[in-house]
Structure 1
Amino acid sequence: MQENLKADVKKSTLREGKKTAKNLFVKIGGMIKRRIPRINAYHTKLELAKTAMKDKDWKQASHHLFELIHEFKPNVDNYVMLGKVLRKDKQYQEAEKILNEGQLHFPNNHIILTELAKVTIDTYNWVKAREILNLAKTHHDEIPVSAHFGLSIVNRVLGNDKESNAQLSHCLDEHSEELKETYKKGYRKIILYNNGENRIEYYKMTQKNDTVTITFDSINMVWDEMPFGFKFLKKQNTDIIAVRRRTGNNYYQDLSLEDFNKTVNLLVHSYKRKVAYGFSLGGYAVLYYCADLNCEILSLSPRNSAHPNYGDKLSEEIPFKHNLSLTNNPNITPIIIYDPKNRTDNSYIEKELKKSFLNARFIEHHYAGHRTAPFLSQIGVIKDLVGRVVHGKELIEYDKKLRSKSHQYLRVLGQECLRRNKGKWALELSEKALELSPEDSKALALKEKAIVRLESNKTKEYSWLREAAIQISEKKDQIIKLFSLAFIELLEIML
């Protein structure tokens, strides 16, 4: 009987175990069934967010990422992605808010801190950016090279050249290959200032240097293009501050002298060598904005067409907000290159700039025209000239025979010949200009005008000869009589 009781207990235990196992299996299965749709929902939203980011649809991307963050378990990558999307969409306050929220879940996480630093850089809060990057560096030895390089840039913007150089040296010594891979173009670009119409960009090269060059776009350039002189300057071991314009009809009237100085002053003075370079409108701008920075200035054909005294009809359409006269700074010796035969440029030079810059070096290129930068390029000396200024080398006088290589010079000289009614010379010069540059429409127009002028002159000459012949024919009797009298008087004298 005892054995039967033991057998019954064993069977009962086995049945209960199977029942318990079955219940547990059912429970786990239910959890899995409920979990699978949730996992699928997470990945679906993540893929939708990434697709929207790829399409630069920042609104849609932020919508999906907000759902991921607040409906699922907190994740560093999602916080960083959302911060980046909001930053790209220029929702800086929201980006900072969400990244700070991420910091609460993941204190001092260097990836979140690095993205937060980018937000503060985009909002020009350089002091806070430095604090955040230093915090990331303190808590993590393996922060990305972009954070190290970013810290170097921020210190430079704040005028701390020693800290900047030390951080850059660390990048070059410890992360050289990563730096090259991250910044394949050899520089990092950040925006220092943007008022919607004018923008100041800073290009920090990835190699050590102690020179900065400030450039201003000329009249035909906008900020969607590369800055003025950038392709050449980036090879000269100089950092670049480029002042840009959103539209072509902007004459820097929206950028105040005060805002410019406030933006670049500490940065510029953290360099040992400071250079400013511009042509035409940019040539005017380097003199107007940079005269008080005590830097080397190269200004080619300075002109602002909106200037009420030295501009053109644009001055009637565009309000001129700049000072009418430029700063008289006796401590600088700007190099100003121009064509004295160009009436507009010469008037501005003689009446204004020679009074404002008493120590300036004025270099004349007769018949180069207003566009001295293309002229210097055509004769093959522009790179040598700019390179000498950037590196502080002595300027040299270039062979005047090189002018014959410039179709612009030949055309401008031909236009002056035509103005002085030297049609044959004008025609010859226009043809030589077209040999150098067949697409020079102004040289072609000069040729056509010269031909018309020559034909007109021939017609006038023929008309004069015909009129003289008619007059001689009408007065032939008087002429014969005069000749006869003269002959008789001559005979009398001889006899």
Structure 2
Amino acid sequence: MQTNTVDLADQIAKQLIQQKEEKPRTKSYIQLASIYEKANNLTDAMYILQEGLQVYPTSLSLHRALWTFYANHNIDRGKSLHIPRTIKRVLNKKPIRFFEFLQRIFLKNHQYKTSLELLKMELQTNPEQKELLYKIIELSLEFGHFEETISYFEKLKSLEKDTKSLVKLNMKIGMVHMAAGRFEEAEKQFAYCNENYAELLPEIYKDNYEKIVIFNNGESSIEFYKYIHPTKRMVATFDAIDKTVTGKPFAYKLLKKQGVDLISLRRRTANNYHQDITREDYYHAIEKLVSYYDKRFAYGTSLGGYNALFLGSTIPDCKILSMAPRNPAHPIYGTKERKYNKFLHPLSHPVNKDIQPTICYDPKEKVDNPYITKEIMHSYPNAIYKKFYYAGHRVPTYLREAGVLKEIVTLFLSEKPIPDYDRKLHTKSAEYHRVLGIHCRRHKKMKWALALANRSVELAPKYDRSLALRIEILIKIGKLEEAEKYTHEAIELHPNLSRFYLLLADIHIANGESAKAEKMLEATNKKIRSKKIREKIADLKGKE
């Protein structure tokens, strides 16, 4: 939304909240409809004006506004039904949705406090509307209003008739008590659930977890996953570079079998590097909750490995497992993302001599190694460093393929030392062969590079990075016919990945068929939204 639009919505909301108006004024209806009209959302704009006439059937200003709207947008049917529709709405009143439409603007712009105030106002006139209570609970939790949220939960319980919904409400009440530091009440709540719903719990919770969100600033959020059986162990997890809040947290599949609670830092978009959250923000959000646990752990890889150290070290007596720690937005040790993102964290982590994190990394990785040796080793002088040569940046992938990731995590959560593994385990890993192949290509050992790429594909036939490396090497050594064959096979496996279409374009160009490459990319561009494909097309057009 444009700034002036948000300002207008803010004015409407402030007037409603300050005057404690149970229903909007005629002017408010006209203003909100104009916001949606300017956003070209004509259906909702029309609905808002029609609802206004349901509330104020004799308002000349609303009649005039709606009639003008019909005329401006050539809605002839609207004109003919104007009076009959108005009479019908007055006689058969529907719930007022004005607040819902106004809140959409604030939610879209992450103005959650205003949205929460509007919801509370709406609740005064609809105190038994379950959907409204659920929305208020969600926002209240994200602001850390735990005590207040309990009363909303209790109200919901009095309205809810479905047994499974009641089980979930009772579990969540216990979790809110935990977040508020009221552990005795929390344990009573969980005991009640286990005593009264023992048979239902496994049916409702297939993964053995209930979830609530206990912090949300619009970009970063913290999810609390409660194991349905008693546990005094928690793991703070931090998402890797390829994860957002739409999926499960990092290492969820692995950790859910360990009987631990999870406190997971999530991000709304893939280009968020958690510069919106400070160490103080993070710990303040979970401070009361983590004091419940006897054993505390933090675990992450890549961006998550960085945050396991940077944020996880704020948790008292916390054991940390960090793999390939890296924040791509770091202005010195970052990757290309550093050009487009502000870095607001300190350039160096605070020096911490009191903890002994375990840090797994590849000393041959050209981005990770300088950061770890020049920064991380200085900040965590007592850390244990486990080196996995040619694991690359995707260390957990390498360890999983080598068959030791689960064992490492289990040992870590048991507070046992992680051994030095036999390096021959790398023969099982497609990632190892791919990374070593990249190193060979970098040193112009193309025969070895191709053999390693082929072996990587044998171990993981559908792995897009290995498939791409093999094609790139074949193009480099001039085996274009073979490269094209493998590219078409890769496109069949990964029809939505732009990288293979770009490689196919490179093959056509190498064959002197630039026009064919351009035509193919233009056809692809209609199916796949890719900035790189558009840039490649522009580059080809520029050379014509």
TM above 0.5, yes or no, is yes
2:474 is aligned to 448
2:438 is aligned to 415
Instruction: Tell me the distance in 1 between the aligned counterparts of 2:304 and 2:98.
Output: 40
1:45 is aligned to none
Alignment of 1:202-351 (within 5 A): 202-294=224-316, 295-351=318-374
Residue 277 of structure 1 deviates from its aligned partner by 1.1
1:127 is aligned to 147
1:468 is aligned to none
String of CA shifts for 1:292-348, please: whole Å, max 9, x gaps.
213111111111121112113432321110011102222211111111011221111
SS in 2 for 1:200: strand
The aligned length equals 387
Q: Tell me if structure 2 keeps the 8 A contact 1:215–1:278.
A: yes
Measured at CA, do residues 451 and 275 of structure 1 come closer, stay the same or move farther in structure 2, by a change above 3 Å?
same
Match of 1:92 among 105, 116, 132: 116
2:87 is aligned to none
Match of 2:170 among 132, 141, 148: 148
Instruction: Tell me the distance in 1 between the aligned counterparts of 2:253 and 2:456.
Output: 27
Instruction: Tell me the distance in 2 between the aligned counterparts of 1:354 and 1:224.
Output: 34
Alignment of 1:15-30 (within 5 A): none
1:158 is aligned to 180
1:459 is aligned to none
1:465 is aligned to none
Measured at CA, do residues 269 and 445 of structure 1 come closer, stay the same or move farther in structure 2, by a change above 3 Å?
farther
Residue 131 of structure 1 deviates from its aligned partner by 5.1
Measured at CA, do residues 222 and 159 of structure 1 come closer, stay the same or move farther in structure 2, by a change above 3 Å?
same
Alignment of 1:65-214 (within 5 A): 91-100=115-124, 120-121=140-141, 123-130=143-150, 144-214=166-236
Q: Tell me if structure 1 keeps the 8 A contact 2:239–2:249.
A: yes
String of CA shifts for 1:100-134, please: whole Å, max 9, x gaps.
5566xx9xx99999997666435531022235657
Match of 1:353 among 371, 376, 380: 376
SS in 2 for 1:348: helix
Identity within the alignment, % = 34
Measured at CA, do residues 226 and 115 of structure 1 come closer, stay the same or move farther in structure 2, by a change above 3 Å?
closer
Instruction: Tell me the distance in 2 between the aligned counterparts of 1:145 and 1:270.
Output: 23
Match of 1:376 among 378, 390, 399: 399
SS in 2 for 1:332: coil
SS in 2 for 1:168: helix
SS in 2 for 1:176: coil
Measured at CA, do residues 411 and 71 of structure 1 come closer, stay the same or move farther in structure 2, by a change above 3 Å?
same
SS in 1 for 2:199: helix
Which is worse superposed, 313-322 or 109-118?
109-118
SS in 1 for 2:311: helix
Measured at CA, do residues 131 and 423 of structure 1 come closer, stay the same or move farther in structure 2, by a change above 3 Å?
closer
Instruction: Tell me the distance in 1 between the aligned counterparts of 2:188 and 2:288.
Output: 18
Instruction: Tell me the distance in 2 between the aligned counterparts of 1:71 and 1:275.
Output: 61
Residue 240 of structure 1 deviates from its aligned partner by 1.3
Measured at CA, do residues 145 and 312 of structure 1 come closer, stay the same or move farther in structure 2, by a change above 3 Å?
closer
Measured at CA, do residues 82 and 146 of structure 1 come closer, stay the same or move farther in structure 2, by a change above 3 Å?
farther
Q: Tell me if structure 2 keeps the 8 A contact 1:304–1:311.
A: yes
Q: TM-score, normalised by structure 1?
A: 0.67
SS in 2 for 1:144: helix
SS in 2 for 1:166: helix
Instruction: Tell me the distance in 1 between the aligned counterparts of 2:258 and 2:477.
Output: 47
Measured at CA, do residues 173 and 83 of structure 1 come closer, stay the same or move farther in structure 2, by a change above 3 Å?
farther
SS in 1 for 2:337: helix
Residue 290 of structure 1 deviates from its aligned partner by 1.3
Q: Tell me if structure 1 keeps the 8 A contact 2:141–2:215.
A: no
String of CA shifts for 1:133-173, please: whole Å, max 9, x gaps.
579999x9x99333432221111101233332232112101
Q: Tell me if structure 1 keeps the 8 A contact 2:173–2:189.
A: yes
Where do 5+ consecutive residues of structure 2 fail to align?
Answer: 1-43, 56-89, 480-544
Measured at CA, do residues 190 and 60 of structure 1 come closer, stay the same or move farther in structure 2, by a change above 3 Å?
farther
Letter in 2 for 1:417: C
Alignment of 1:454-473 (within 5 A): none
Instruction: Tell me the distance in 2 between the aligned counterparts of 1:110 and 1:196.
Output: 24
Measured at CA, do residues 71 and 202 of structure 1 come closer, stay the same or move farther in structure 2, by a change above 3 Å?
farther
Residue 85 of structure 1 deviates from its aligned partner by 12
Instruction: Tell me the distance in 1 between the aligned counterparts of 2:212 and 2:421.
Output: 38
Q: Tell me if structure 1 keeps the 8 A contact 2:434–2:453.
A: yes
Instruction: Tell me the distance in 2 between the aligned counterparts of 1:259 and 1:135.
Output: 30
String of CA shifts for 1:217-238, please: whole Å, max 9, x gaps.
1111221122211122222211
Measured at CA, do residues 239 and 379 of structure 1 come closer, stay the same or move farther in structure 2, by a change above 3 Å?
same
Instruction: Tell me the distance in 2 between the aligned counterparts of 1:150 and 1:380.
Output: 37
Letter in 1 for 2:380: F
